[in-house]
Amino acid sequence: MKREANERLAFIRRSTPFYMCVFILILEFVSIWIIRNDNIPSNVQYSQINADNGVILHVLQAEPSRISFNSVNDNVVQSGRIGINGGFFWEDQLLSIAVMDRIPTNGGSKEYGSGWFNVKYARGTIVYDRVTRMVDVQRAASVDDLHMTHTTKFWAQGGVSMNLKDDSNWYNVAVTEEGLPFPDDKRLRSAMAYDNSGEIYLIVTSTRCTAEQFRTAIKINVAKGNLNEAIFLDGDGSSQLLAGKVKLKGDSRKVVQMIQVIE
């Protein structure tokens, strides 16, 4: 009897590594299955960051070639497309630049509300040059003010300059010069950023915060040590994100434009 018990114990000890390997493989398979069923493209990374100042950031990271602008006139969550809200708008008029290869997102070239203009202000606009594959921020009132290598090989998303490298003057530029709405109110916030290698970060909060708190959380926590620059996008009820099972619908309102991440 004792011998049989010892043999069973020895068998269990020999078998444990095998069953552990099987268990790990099953976990990996389940994890991959869950990720695939979240419908997040394999070349897109989603992360949630809990910043030290209490701001919770939801971040989509992708190459600039994976970025697309769409006129959705819907809530981002309801659109079923992976991405976040875009620029400022009023009713069905887009008030921020949103152009793909010189084609505005919400109408014709040079039309008011089409995405050709940053209405009222020259504002921070992230531009991706498809020829040089470089990303930068340019202050512009319209697409005509932007600089790129080829006039039909770029995209541009307007917002409000965040000026991550200028802690002493960013607020004056954002609020006084570029008209950032409600900077000191605690509201939901959205942003677009890029790092030194040109990777794009689409960022939405699920906590209400001031513009300064939002900027600080991004500067310290996103692409640590490698973040280059960012712009504020439309916020509060318009701050929306869809990333698989992560659904932030703001106040359920419809937005005119969204920034989509594509395969």
> pLDDT at position 29, please?
39
Q: Are residues 89 and 161 in the same domain?
A: yes
Q: Are residues 57 and 32 in the same domain?
A: no
Q: Are residues 17 and 48 in the same domain?
A: no
Q: Are residues 142 and 182 in the same domain?
A: yes
Q: Are residues 122 and 157 in the same domain?
A: yes
Per residue in 57-67, pLDDT (tens digit) is: 999 999 999 99
Cα torsion for 198, 223, 66, 137, to the nearest 10°? -50
Higher confidence at residue 92 or residue 2? Answer: 92
Per residue in 145-160, pLDDT (tens digit) is: 999 999 999 999 999 9
Q: CA nearest 157: which of 243, 231, 209? A: 231
Res. 240: pLDDT tops 80: yes
Q: Are residues 49 and 4 in the same domain?
A: no
Q: Are residues 112 and 177 in the same domain?
A: yes
Q: Are residues 24 and 137 in the same domain?
A: no
Q: Extract the tokens encoding 244.
A: 């698989």
Contact assessment for residue 158 and residue 118, using Cβ atoms and an 8 Å cutoff: yes
Phi-psi region of 85 (alpha: psi -120 to 50; beta: other; left: phi over 0): beta
Q: Are residues 9 and 113 in the same domain?
A: no
Q: Are residues 129 and 198 in the same domain?
A: yes
Total domains in the fold of the chain: 2
The residue range of the domain holding 176 is 42-261
What pTM, to 2 d.p., does this model score? 0.85
C-alpha 153/C-alpha 133 separation (Å) is 10
